Structure 1
Amino acid sequence: MVGAHTDSPCLRVKPASKRQAEGFLQVGVETYGGGIWHTWFDRDLSVAGRLMIKSKDGDFVQKLVKINRPILRIPTLAIHLERQETFSFNKETQLFPIAGLVAAELDRKAKNDQRSEEATDVEGSNEPNKPLTSHHPYLVELLASECKAEPDEVIDFELVLYDTQKSCVGGLNEELMFSPRLDNLCMSYCSVMALIHSVATPEALANESSIRLIALFDHEEIGSNTAQGADSNVMPSILRRLSVLGADDPETTAYEQSLASSFLVSADMAHSVNPNFAAKYESDHKPEMNKGVVIKVNANARYATNSPGIVLLREIASRAQVPLQSFVVRNDSSCGSTIGPMLAAALGTRTLDLGNPQLSMHSIRETGGVYDVDYAIQLFKGFFEHYSELEKKIIVD
């Protein structure tokens, strides 16, 4: 198994988001996860998420939506008005994005009302739309139009903000990538591609005795204690169903036996050494970009890595010709965690934490190494292909 998570720190639109101040239209947002929130200022932002639409036949249908143009921006205060060495702000009162000017919205509504009256004179009665009153009407209209629905058909929605600037390759030799949400869509992508590549040929599973599986969870950034998070019952229940599939004995211990012989790679991005803050890293554990996947170790079980797992991954990396690095935090530094320890505790299966090195983790725009993407894909592919053979050779009393 390879497990990863799909969510990233972001700003989420509040249930009642319509705000107005000093001639500006604003949108109320709340923080999700531990983001570096000052990086969200002065960015070209938009919204994406899901709408609940009431269809003509009375069903309530989910529709995914993404507005592909900048509609929001969180402006910083000019340095002339407040000089401060460190940028500090109140997340509740000073993190609201502006969505435009009140005057412009009034002008738009006046023109729409005029067109509506003209249409009514020609076509007869015209039932006015009834969008969600707790949000700006034009925002609801934009969302509805993206789903080819009417504003009064939008019953509710869940929206998050995102930076409209696209990911790109950078660096003098195009060896870097600048992108939002590398943590942890990069590892999610690598695990998906590795699984696909591992079964690309007809004979790929001819002698396979194991099930190859990836699990991509939501809500890791807020603790995973949700229905679709890693700290839920979803993973054990799916593995139980897979394990007892076709078993003749309803009291079989196939599930427990499968957990004992299984292995989970917890794939979550790792910290590359930052050259401007090198003293923040343990002197002998400074991962570098494009130098390979990072095995993460923590004596206090913030990561689930142990020696038998390291031996397994090193052998797989050797066969896949993928370099590996190691990371531990300084004793005087706090340490983040992953889905690895909680899944290891829930399943009782062997687990190892790893990830590709990156900079600016939890920023709105992060930095990674181009070549590390292929390293991770090849490592996960080798894990799927060689695990069944190697598992028998790692003997622990």
Structure 2
Amino acid sequence: MSLSILHDFLDFLDASPTPFHAVENLKQMLDEEGFTELCERDSWVLQRARKYYVIRGASIIAFVCGDQDEIENCPLRLIGAHTDSPCLKITPLPDRSAHSYLQLGIEVYGGALLNPWFDRDLSIAGQVSYLNDDGELISRLINFRRPVAVIPSLAIHLNRDVNGKKSVNPQTELRPIITGGDKLPAFRDLLKRQIRLEQSKNSDVAEILDFDLCLYDTQRAALVGMDNQFITSARLDNLLSCFVAIWSLKNYSGSGTSLVVCNDHEEIGSRSSSGALGTLLNDVLVRLYPHDIARQQVLRRAIMISADNAHGIHPNYPSVHDEGHGPIINRGPVLKFNANQRYATSSKGASWLRCVAKSGGKAVPLQSFVTRADMGCGSTIGPLTASNSGIEVIDLGVPTFAMHSIRELAGAEDFSYLMALFDRFLKA
């Protein structure tokens, strides 16, 4: 794999502070490779060997149609990932003034590690809807792109027990400071000013109607380690899987039908119109295969990878892993198993993928993960998609440290391994 692809990924991470931005950047990758955008409100006329994508909210599905006249005769391979990551979202009426500081009210999105959010140079990004001075309703992406907020820690002199035990009350302790002074501006006025800076049109912002905004760390994604063997960034879970899946799809040259779905809202249960429990994937499959029986037959033969980061064994905390199931960073993607179907991987599916990993030249190494029997287990879009579609799903991801922190760590070699595996999988 070219080192330039890895640097393209780092740039993608920096340019994708929210799911909306991630989808916009994935869309740009597809546009550059000649994919055609579809609209769900329109009729679709799909042609063999053509490339398409459709966007719903902050979710995207891209696919390449098989090259046979009857698409039902082409094998179907799918890769699923998710565009969202745990973060701090700004509340609808966020203005909080105290002691000459303007702070913002927040909600915690997903299962975030909260302590790492203190003392970071934070910015704001997301989607804003407003009326312009012509009375038009406009929705657009916004990104301040510079440090505009900070959540300062309380000095140790005022909290002597902080290093012994530190719990965080998000309602009272995670309000960021964005400005100070005797006369504090309204947050919506600051949004208006930013929109004016970003937009190229002459029309002005008359009224901010609503927004979907979050805080993010402005520290850029980077390669770290003496030999640059690690990737460190926010949102590695799960933008790494999204990027590699779309990259593999746009370079796909096989004869079968290949599809990538990147859902929003995985971190909060997937219960939304654009989440894995929504209708997006099924709606696209119905358009691809309009005849019920033929579609059922295709889906029974189809195989899907649910790509989501796995917990690498941490050298400081090895006891939280099951003996024999401690994935090591840069030793290959991780097959995830759970007896209670928190992961969808079956022994049959895992065995098939192990054969795929060994095909086509040098084998892609695979590792295995199960949660300790005395600990709970997270989940993915894998079981949800499997139960809704009947597709054979394999849960897999790259080993990661500090998952759900404001800054996570994964392996540069695992990035390459995952890309090689996806390339082989789509052609299998």
TM-score where L is the length of structure 2: 0.78
Tell me by how many angstroms 1:53 deviates: 3.0
| Equivalent residue in structure 1 for 2:321, among 274, 278, 281 | 281
One-letter identity of the residue aligned with 1:197: N
Correspondence for 1:169: 223
Correspondence for 2:146: 69
Tell me by how many angstroms 1:25 deviates: 1.2
Tell me by how many angstroms 1:60 deviates: 1.5
Question: Size of the alignment, in residue pairs?
Answer: 345
Pairing 1:41-52 to 2, within 5 Å after superposition: 41-52=118-129
Equivalent-residue separation in structure 2 for 1:100 and 1:55 (angstroms): 26
The Cα offsets for residues 242-269 of structure 1, whole Å up to 9 and x where unpaired, read as: 012xxxxx6x511111111111110000
Pairing 1:171-320 to 2, within 5 Å after superposition: 171-199=225-253, 205=254, 208=255, 210-244=256-290, 252-320=292-360
Does structure 2 retain, via aligned residues, the 8 Å contact 1:17–1:136? no
Pairing 1:352-363 to 2, within 5 Å after superposition: 352-363=394-405
Tell me by how many angstroms 1:145 deviates: 2.6
User: CA RMSD, aligned part only?
Assistant: 1.5
| Equivalent residue in structure 1 for 2:156, among 70, 79, 82 | 79
Correspondence for 1:124: none
Correspondence for 1:16: 93
Equivalent-residue separation in structure 1 for 2:294 and 2:408 (angstroms): 43
Correspondence for 1:59: 136
Instruction: State which structure, 1 or 2, has the greater radius of gyration over its C-alpha atoms.
Output: 1
Equivalent-residue separation in structure 1 for 2:421 and 2:211 (angstroms): 39
Tell me by how many angstroms 1:315 deviates: 1.0
Equivalent-residue separation in structure 2 for 1:36 and 1:353 (angstroms): 23
Partner SS for 2:323: coil
| Equivalent residue in structure 1 for 2:392, among 341, 350, 359 | 350
Partner SS for 2:343: coil
The Cα offsets for residues 76-112 of structure 1, whole Å up to 9 and x where unpaired, read as: 1001101221212311111100012123x56xx8xxx
Equivalent-residue separation in structure 1 for 2:104 and 2:198 (angstroms): 19
Does structure 1 retain, via aligned residues, the 8 Å contact 2:130–2:205? no
TM-score where L is the length of structure 1: 0.84
Correspondence for 2:179: 100
Partner SS for 2:237: helix
One-letter identity of the residue aligned with 1:89: V
Equivalent-residue separation in structure 2 for 1:71 and 1:152 (angstroms): 23
The Cα offsets for residues 323-376 of structure 1, whole Å up to 9 and x where unpaired, read as: 100000110111100000011000011111000000000000000101111110
Correspondence for 1:123: none
Partner SS for 2:103: strand
Pairing 1:102-117 to 2, within 5 Å after superposition: 102-103=181-182
Q: Single out whichever of 360-369 and 139-148 deviates more from structure 2.
A: 139-148
Partner SS for 1:311: helix
The Cα offsets for residues 163-219 of structure 1, whole Å up to 9 and x where unpaired, read as: 0010000001110111000000001111111112223xxxxx4xx2x3100000000
Equivalent-residue separation in structure 1 for 2:391 and 2:169 (angstroms): 43
Partner SS for 1:92: helix
Does structure 2 retain, via aligned residues, the 8 Å contact 1:24–1:98? yes
Correspondence for 1:334: 376
Work out whether 1:145 is the aligned partner of 2:197. yes
